[in-house]
């Protein structure tokens, strides 16, 4: 099934979830839970926390599916946003032991190649972001990827890269400015 067909299916399923259709939620879960579990594990680095997160995410989807707007986001980017927000809230609550993260975590940030088997966005959207990320300095794009994938604060990112906080903040903010300009072109 191509990405567009899958996207249309998920849009339709979310519409049915909004109307209280449990089978539609099961369909959304079957198609997206492995991706969201991967995202949650990466941020939380704890299986049981990631399982609780997943439950929280799909219960949120159950209640708030009516808020999904396909003109603003694709289904998967909406779901990823919910999962990341909840995961980061869990991290910041201090209940998850961040110390358990291997220190090398910051080094494998360049692995975010588009080779993943499940293409979650249309090729166009993916190519666009990757093109724009390539226009950034390596350290800027690496910091942005690390922040997104691992859910680290400025402070944690700075410590892992052994640079002053202000430097890390500057890398990311300058990167974001360039990224925004490029994405809006």
Partner 1 sequence: MSDDQTIGAGEDRDFLAAEYVLGVLGAEERRALELRLEREPELATEIAFWEARLAVLAEGVAPVPPPAEVWQRIEARIAVKPAPEPGGLWQSLAFWRPVALASAGLAAASMAGLIYLAQIPALGPPLVAQLDEKSGQPGFLAASNPADGSVTIVPAALITGQQQQSYELWVIPPGGTPHSLGLVDPTRPVKVAVPPELQPHVSVDSTLAITLEPRGGSPTGQPTGPIIANGKLASL
- Tokens, residue 50: 């990631």
How far apart, in Å, are the Cα atoms of 182 and each of 13, 64, 65, 164, 178? 33, 32, 31, 27, 6
Query: Could you tell me the smallest distance in angstroms from the CB atom of residue 159 to partner 1?
Result: 13
Among residues 145, 159, 163, 178, which is the contact residue for partner 1, using CB under 8 A? Answer: 145
Whether the CA torsion 42, 44, 45, 51 is positive or negative: it is negative
Query: Could you tell me the smallest distance in angstroms from the CB atom of residue 82 to partner 1?
Result: 9
Query: Could you tell me the smallest distance in angstroms from the CB atom of residue 17 to partner 1?
Result: 10
Binding to partner 1 by CB under 8 A, coded x per residue (else -) over 3-22, reads ---------------xxx-x
Residue with the two structure tokens 């430097």 = 167
Among 2-10, 96-104, 121-129, the segment contacting partner 1 (CB under 8 A)? 121-129
DSSP 136: S
Among 1-9, 65-73, 99-107, the segment contacting partner 1 (CB under 8 A)? 65-73
Query: Could you tell me the smallest distance in angstroms from the CB atom of residue 49 to partner 1?
Result: 12
Residue closer to partner 1 by CB (options 9, 41) is: 41
Closest by CA to 114, choosing from 99, 102, 131, is 131
C-alpha 12/C-alpha 62 separation (Å) is 14
How far apart, in Å, are the Cα atoms of 77 and each of 93, 118, 127, 139, 148? 24, 13, 15, 25, 13
Are the C-beta atoms of 42 and 25 separated by less than 8 Å?
no
Query: Could you tell me the smallest distance in angstroms from the CB atom of residue 8 to partner 1?
Result: 16
Q: Is 169 in the site for partner 1 (CB under 8 A)?
A: yes
Q: Is 163 in the site for partner 1 (CB under 8 A)?
A: no
Using CB under 8 A as the binding rule, the residues of this chain from 81 to 120 that contact partner 1 are 81, 84, 88-89, 92-93, 111-114, 116-120
Are the C-beta atoms of 50 and 44 separated by less than 8 Å?
yes
Residue closer to partner 1 by CB (options 69, 103) is: 69
């Amino acid at each position: 099934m191509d990405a567009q067909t899958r996207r249309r299916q998920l849009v339709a399923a979310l519409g049915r979830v909004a109307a209280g259709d449990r089978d539609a939620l099961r369909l959304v879960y079957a198609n997206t839970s492995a991706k969201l579990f991967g995202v949650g594990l990466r941020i939380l680095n704890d299986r049981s926390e990631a399982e609780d997160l997943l439950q929280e995410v799909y219960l949120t989807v159950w209640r708030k599916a009516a808020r999904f707007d396909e003109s603003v986001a694709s289904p998967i980017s909406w779901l990823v946003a919910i999962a990341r927000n909840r995961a980061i809230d869990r991290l910041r609550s201090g209940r998850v032991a961040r110390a358990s993260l291997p220190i090398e975590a910051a080094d494998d940030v360049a692995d975010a190649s588009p080779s993943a088997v499940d293409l979650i966005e249309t090729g166009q959207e993916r190519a666009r972001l990757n093109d724009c990320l390539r226009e950034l300095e390596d350290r800027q794009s690496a910091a942005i990827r690390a922040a997104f994938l691992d859910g680290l604060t400025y402070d944690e990112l700075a410590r892992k890269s052994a640079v002053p906080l202000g430097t890390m903040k500057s890398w990311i903010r300058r990167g974001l400015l360039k990224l925004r300009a490029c994405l809006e072109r």
